[in-house]
């Protein structure tokens, strides 16, 4: 096997070693190769924020698949994280404000914080307190630790269906769990010119892109079918 691998050109060798044995950089390169990451900025941020720091011990961090994180929740697959960062990139410019609802491991919140930088604000809202503690610890071990320390990045225990009014109006809102319908408070907390990316549905779900125009009207389009854990009450989530 090793001999066979050493005979492959470097490019194919890299593909071979990606997956369970791959490193974070190789994962990002693969997502670029498959056209999921197009933006240089998204690639840089996903390289800087090592997914390996955010998955529970024993999981395979660099495989392109969701992983259980306890409490009936999962960390999304890398291609979904990449797709959401791509969709939101223009709304994650330095100095902007980003809300991550259902922040789970804190991975995307950390990426948002890196994109909006120290002059911006990135807030994660998660209703399982143990996951909030887990995410804060993960962020402390990541490239976003300074942003957490200096306060441009924070994670809070709350029902994300109500958004985070203190941050409003937001340039970018990401929801990491599927809502039966788009919660009105999240639409209200979106800035004119801002964008929300949210999975919507129960059995069948679509990733929806919600753009608020400058006149306050809203346009919604479906990006792709998806499968997320539900955006629900804490009791319903833990009961399932």
> Interface with ligand SAH includes 237 (CB under 6 A)?
yes
Among 18, 24, 76, 138, binds ligand SAH (CB under 6 A): 76
* 39 tagged catalytic: no
Distance CA 172, CA 190 (A): 7
DSSP the chain: -HHHHHHS-HHHHHHHH-GGG--HHHHHHHHHHTTS---HHHHHHHHHS-GGGTSPTTS-TTSSS-EEEETTEEEPPHHHHHHHHHHHGGGS-TT-EEEEES-TTSHHHHHHHHHH-TTSEEEEEES-HHHHHHHHHHHHTSTTHHHHHHTSEEEEES-GGG--TTTPSEEEEEE-SBBSS--HHHHHTEEEEEEEEEEEESSSEEEEEEEE-TTS-EEEEEEEEE---B---HHHHHH-
* Region of 67-75, 90-98, 193-201, 212-220 interacting with ligand SAH (CB under 6 A): 67-75
Q: Assess contact for 181 and 200: CB atoms under 8 A.
A: yes
Give the active site residue among 59, 65, 76, 154.
76
State the nearest-atom distance from the C-beta of 75 to ligand SAH, in Å. Answer: 4
> Interface with ligand SAH includes 73 (CB under 6 A)?
yes
> Interface with ligand SAH includes 75 (CB under 6 A)?
yes
Distance CA 53, CA 62 (A): 11
> Interface with ligand SAH includes 205 (CB under 6 A)?
no
> Interface with ligand SAH includes 64 (CB under 6 A)?
no
State the nearest-atom distance from the C-beta of 22 to ligand SAH, in Å. Answer: 19
Binding mask 148-187 for ligand SAH (x = CB under 6 A): -----------xxx--------------xx----------
Among 102, 163, 194, 201, binds ligand SAH (CB under 6 A): 102
Contacts to ligand SAH from residues 122-141, by CB under 6 A: 125-128, 131
Total residues contacting ligand SAH (rule CB under 6 A)? 25
Distance CA 124, CA 133 (A): 12
* Region of 85-93, 145-153, 213-221, 229-237 interacting with ligand SAH (CB under 6 A): 229-237
State the nearest-atom distance from the C-beta of 49 to ligand SAH, in Å. Answer: 12
Report the interface residues with ligand SAH, using CB under 6 A.
71, 73-76, 102-105, 107-108, 125-128, 131, 159-161, 176-177, 229, 231-232, 237
Catalytic amino acids? 76
């Amino acid at each position: 096997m090793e001999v066979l691998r050493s005979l492959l050109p470097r490019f194919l060798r890299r593909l071979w070693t990606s997956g369970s044995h791959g490193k974070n950089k190789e994962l990002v390169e693969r997502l670029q190769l498959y056209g999921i990451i197009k933006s240089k900025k998204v690639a840089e941020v996903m390289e800087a924020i090592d997914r390996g720091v955010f998955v529970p011990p024993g999981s395979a961090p660099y495989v392109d698949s969701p992983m259980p994180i306890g409490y009936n929740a999962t960390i999304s697959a890398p291609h979904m994280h990449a797709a959401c960062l791509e969709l939101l990139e223009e709304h994650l410019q330095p100095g902007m404000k980003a809300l991550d609802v259902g922040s789970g491991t804190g991975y995307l919140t950390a990426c948002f914080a890196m994109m909006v930088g120290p002059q911006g604000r990135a807030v994660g809202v998660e209703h399982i307190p143990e996951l909030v503690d887990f995410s804060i610890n993960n962020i402390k071990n990541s490239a976003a630790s300074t942003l957490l320390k200096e306060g441009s990045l924070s994670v809070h225990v709350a029902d994300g269906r109500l958004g985070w009014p203190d941050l409003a109006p937001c340039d970018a809102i990401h929801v990491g769990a599927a809502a039966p319908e788009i919660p009105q408070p999240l639409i209200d907390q979106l800035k004119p010119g801002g964008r929300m990316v949210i999975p919507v549905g129960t059995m069948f779900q679509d990733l929806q892109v919600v753009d608020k125009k400058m006149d306050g009207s809203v346009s919604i389009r479906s990006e792709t079918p998806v499968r997320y854990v539900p955006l629900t009450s804490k009791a319903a989530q833990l009961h399932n």
